[in-house]
């Protein structure tokens, strides 16, 4: 009775909230060590979770496991990497040490590699569990990796029965969870195996890596098929293996946390007063503007003027260029009286030249986003969409429009103003804007085109669309002079059907005075 009283006293002393509704357990999240993956995971790896890293050979499974280990292992809470009949440990170390995350000082201090092949071959699953138990109890690891778990089960299927395998999985999960380890079973699996293999049922998280070949390019993808206890970003995310190991590119491009643009927005000057006038006072801050026109109509010159005007007002800018090298772009701006060299030196302007082979759309977007964040840029130029799409591996082109939409939406939402150029083919019976579904991509559209007037090929500009307000409906002639694009003259009232490129004169022809007669 004395004991019971003690319990009663203790209970009444507890805060009311604890008695009536126990506080939820907080699941700590561990860093993955993979750029972009924490965001995809919804913050990181749930501590003490039991995970599967699955996929075909060459997808980066072992590298992913290594990155997780190196990001989390400490001498007090080490990582144990058990190898089983797979890649020889010496070769694995030989290759993995090439990555920048591989810190040799952690080896044997906070990361230990243990081979289980003998235990498996000699004593089967029992031997494996005994060996893992011994090592886990001896070092209380934070991270445990078994690579390849698939080889363990293959041996079992051949020699033992399915129940043994289920019992083994249960024992392993119980052991590793009780010893507060976050565990990763690495294995080569086909998707169909997910239904029958008991390890997929007990797993808290499943990382599925895949590698698809499309024409001449290879595209690696990651999917979080299962993530108990926390929301991950759904869908397939591009991954790339570089000298830094795996890098993941979230479908949200890491922009979920970006602030939203203010309700009241400024109008930014394009650098051309007459064009600002046509735009109703300038481009609305946070708008995405598309300039469409054929080759030679001055799209890049307009983009450069937009950047230069921002720089004049102390606004940092980023130019992602795909059709010309930065030196050439900078030099050409110089011939139009715009100095882009000094702002690049002063870290106010960054020119990104992105034309490697097999570029993935998400990593290109990430490069752009990184530059925008680095400079706290207010103005972004993408010159041009066609060049951007051409620089991508064929497998990524299908996703281009969707990814571009996501990036533009997120960046403009954060208040960055985007100026994009797109080349169009002019026909002389219609005025098209581009083959992209532009209404999704842009708030504002400017159209440049050639028109034939009085035996000359001249250029005209018009504002087709402006989502944020009223704009001029005029079609005005412009020239590209030594200071860039300059709009000349009021709207053309002498001609109709200018948009076709072959206008009809509707105004009166002014008779020219006859030339003086020769004496």
Partner 1 sequence: MNRQGATPAMRLFAECLMAYETKAGPVLAGNKPPAVLVCDKLRLPLATLMGNAGYRALLARALTLAKAETPWPSEVVIKPDGSLGGWETLEAQDDPQEMAEAGVVLIAQLLDLLTSFIGEDLMLRQVYEVWPTVQLPQGDSIAQRKNENTK
Question: Which of 74, 108, 212, 470 is the binder for partner 1 (CB under 8 A)?
Answer: 108
- Residue 486 lies near partner 1 (rule: CB under 8 A): no
**Tokens linked to 467:** 């989502």
CA 467 to chain centre: 27
CA-to-CA distance for 388 and 381, rounded, in angstroms? 12
- Residue 91 lies near partner 1 (rule: CB under 8 A): yes
CB of 360 to partner 1, least distance (A): 32
- Residue 507 lies near partner 1 (rule: CB under 8 A): no
Beta strands 317-321 and 349-353: pairing type? parallel
**Contact (Cβ atoms closer than 8 angstroms) between residue 272 and residue 346:** no
Question: Which of 29, 43, 77, 114 is the binder for partner 1 (CB under 8 A)?
Answer: 114
**Through-space distance between the first and last CA atoms of the chain, rounded to whole angstroms:** 138
CB of 133 to partner 1, least distance (A): 16
What DSSP string describes 241-275?
EETTEEEEE-TTTT-TTPPPPPSS--EE--S-HHH
Nearest to 378 by CA among 471, 306, 470, 323: 306
- Residue 117 lies near partner 1 (rule: CB under 8 A): yes
- Residue 74 lies near partner 1 (rule: CB under 8 A): no
Number of shown-chain residues binding partner 1 (CB under 8 A)? 19
CB of 186 to partner 1, least distance (A): 17
CA-to-CA distance for 356 and 353, rounded, in angstroms? 9
Beta bridge partners of 448: 461
CA 17 to chain centre: 43
Q: How many helices (H) and strands (E) does the chain have?
A: 17, 24
Nearest to 126 by CA among 98, 155, 106: 155
Q: Which stretch binds partner 1 (CB under 8 A): 89-97, 353-361, 375-383, 502-510?
A: 89-97
Based on CB atoms, which residue is closest to partner 1, 5 or 98? Answer: 98
Question: Which of 88, 229, 273, 356 is the binder for partner 1 (CB under 8 A)?
Answer: 88
Based on CB atoms, which residue is closest to partner 1, 74 or 97? Answer: 97
Q: Which stretch binds partner 1 (CB under 8 A): 116-124, 215-223, 242-250, 379-387?
A: 116-124
The label of the residue with tokens 């079609």 reads 475
Nearest to 80 by CA among 172, 154, 157: 172
CB of 84 to partner 1, least distance (A): 9
Q: Which stretch binds partner 1 (CB under 8 A): 15-23, 87-95, 282-290, 502-510?
A: 87-95
- Residue 93 lies near partner 1 (rule: CB under 8 A): yes
Based on CB atoms, which residue is closest to partner 1, 24 or 91? Answer: 91
- Residue 107 lies near partner 1 (rule: CB under 8 A): yes
CB of 115 to partner 1, least distance (A): 4
- Residue 87 lies near partner 1 (rule: CB under 8 A): no
Based on CB atoms, which residue is closest to partner 1, 81 or 419? Answer: 81
Q: Is 156 helix (H, G, I), strand (E, B) or coil?
A: helix
Handedness of CA 183, 187, 191, 194 (dihedral sign): negative
Degrees (nearest 5) of the Cα angle 56, 168, 96? 40
Q: Which stretch binds partner 1 (CB under 8 A): 18-26, 86-94, 291-299, 352-360?
A: 86-94
Question: Which of 6, 11, 28, 94 is the binder for partner 1 (CB under 8 A)?
Answer: 94
Q: Which stretch binds partner 1 (CB under 8 A): 85-93, 169-177, 275-283, 396-404?
A: 85-93
- Residue 133 lies near partner 1 (rule: CB under 8 A): no
Question: Edge-to-edge, what's the strand order for the sheet holding 379-383?
Answer: 349-353, 317-321, 379-383, 417-423, 288-293, 444-453, 456-466, 475-481, 484-488
Question: Which of 1, 10, 13, 90 is the binder for partner 1 (CB under 8 A)?
Answer: 90
Q: Which stretch binds partner 1 (CB under 8 A): 108-116, 195-203, 270-278, 482-490?
A: 108-116
CA-to-CA distance for 318 and 320, rounded, in angstroms? 7
Nearest to 60 by CA among 108, 99, 117: 99
Cα atoms in the 13 Å half-sphere on the side-chain side of 98: 11
CB of 105 to partner 1, least distance (A): 7
Binding residues for partner 1, rule: CB under 8 A, are 83, 88-91, 93-94, 97, 104-105, 107-108, 112-118
């Amino acid at each position: 009775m004395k004991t019971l009283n003690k319990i009663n006293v203790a209970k009444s002393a507890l805060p009311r909230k604890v008695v009536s509704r126990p506080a939820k357990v907080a699941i700590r999240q561990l860093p993955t060590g993979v750029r972009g993956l924490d965001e995809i995971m919804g913050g990181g790896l749930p501590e003490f979770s039991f995970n599967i890293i699955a996929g075909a050979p060459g997808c980066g499974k072992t590298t992913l496991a290594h990155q997780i280990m190196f990001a989390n292992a400490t001498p007090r809470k080490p990582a144990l990497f058990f190898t089983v009949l797979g890649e020889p440990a010496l070769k694995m170390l030989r290759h993995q040490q090439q990555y920048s995350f591989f810190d040799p000082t952690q080896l044997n201090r906070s990361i230990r590699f243990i081979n289980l092949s003998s235990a498996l071959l000699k004593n089967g699953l029992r031997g494996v569990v005994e060996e893992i138990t011994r090592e886990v109890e001896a070092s209380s690891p934070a991270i445990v990796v078994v690579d390849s778990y698939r080889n363990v089960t293959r041996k079992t299927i051949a020699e033992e029965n399915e129940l043994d395998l289920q019992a083994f999985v249960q024992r392993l999960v119980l052991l590793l969870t009780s010893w507060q380890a976050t565990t990763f079973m690495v294995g080569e699996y086909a998707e169909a195996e997910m239904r029958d293999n008991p390890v997929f049922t007990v797993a808290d998280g499943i990382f599925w890596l895949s590698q698809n070949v499309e024409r001449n390019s290879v595209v690696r993808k990651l999917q979080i098929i299962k993530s108990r206890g926390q929301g991950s970003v759904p869908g397939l995310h591009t991954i790339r293996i570089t000298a830094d190991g795996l890098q993941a590119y979230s479908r949200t491009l890491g922009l979920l946390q970006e602030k939203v643009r203010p309700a009241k927005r400024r109008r930014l000057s394009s650098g051309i007063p007459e064009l600002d006038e046509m735009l109703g006072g300038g481009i609305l801050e946070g708008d995405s503007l598309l300039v469409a026109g054929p080759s030679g109509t001055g799209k890049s010159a307009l983009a450069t003027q937009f950047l230069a005007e921002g720089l004049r007002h102390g606004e940092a800018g980023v130019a992602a260029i795909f059709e010309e090298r930065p030196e050439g772009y900078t030099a050409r701006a110089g011939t139009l009286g715009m100095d882009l060299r000094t702002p690049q030196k002063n870290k106010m302007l960054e020119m990104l030249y992105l034309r490697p082979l097999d570029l993935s759309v998400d990593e290109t977007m990430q490069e752009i986003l990184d530059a925008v964040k680095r400079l706290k840029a207010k103005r972004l130029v993408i010159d041009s969409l066609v060049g951007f799409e051409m620089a991508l591996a064929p497998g990524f082109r299908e996703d281009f429009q969707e990814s571009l939409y996501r990036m533009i939406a997120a960046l403009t939402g954060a208040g960055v103003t985007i100026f994009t150029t797109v080349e169009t083919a002019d026909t002389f019976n219609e005025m098209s804007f581009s083959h992209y579904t532009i209404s999704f991509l842009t708030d504002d559209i400017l159209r440049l085109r050639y028109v034939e007037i009085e035996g000359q090929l001249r250029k005209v500009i018009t504002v087709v669309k402006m989502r944020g307000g009223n704009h001029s409906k005029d079609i005005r002639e412009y020239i590209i002079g030594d200071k860039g694009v300059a709009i000349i003259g009021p709207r053309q009232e002498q001609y109709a059907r200018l948009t076709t490129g072959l206008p009809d004169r509707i105004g009166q022809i002014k008779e020219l005075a006859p030339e003086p007669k020769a004496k």
